[in-house]
Copies of this chain bind each other. A is one copy, B any other.
């Protein structure tokens, strides 16, 4: 992922809330890579709203840099999942940030719903 100009602020670095946008891109890519797109999950009546988000910032990402987001998923319970993220700058392998998000698994009516087995297998 390459840092967009729009993502910088006047400090000359990436504005802190944008890391959470990157986290979303990373977890979506992880799900898609596992054959389970979030778009299809929504079409099947699932949603994964964020109930907790956290990020520790180590070094600043800058405009036009390549950054890589390493992501993994953990099943906390049948109706709750956690994704962990590491933002790395491949140029020098520096870890720029680490974070996590926790998501409820809900059905269309907003009630907790167990993830299908197929998807649960994706999580450690």
Residues in chain A within 8 A of chain B (CB atoms)? 2, 4-6, 8-13, 15-18, 20-21, 24-25, 28, 37-39, 47, 49-57, 60, 63-64, 101
Residues of chain B within 8 A of A21, CB atoms compared: 4, 6, 17
Is A50 in contact with B57, judged by CB distance below 8 angstroms? Answer: yes
What's the Cα separation between A2 and B21 when bound, in Å?
Answer: 13
Query: What is the CB-to-nearest-CB distance from A52 to chain B, in angstroms, rounded to a whole number?
Result: 5
Shortest 5 CB-CB contacts between residues of A and residues of B = A17-B20, A8-B10, A39-B64, A16-B50, A17-B17
What's the Cα separation between A5 and B25 when bound, in Å?
Answer: 8
| Contacts A9-B10, A16-B50, A16-B53 known; 17 new A-B pairs at CB < 8 A | A4-B21, A4-B24, A4-B28, A5-B10, A5-B24, A8-B9, A10-B11, A17-B17, A17-B20, A17-B53, A28-B64, A37-B64, A39-B64, A51-B57, A52-B55, A52-B56, A54-B55
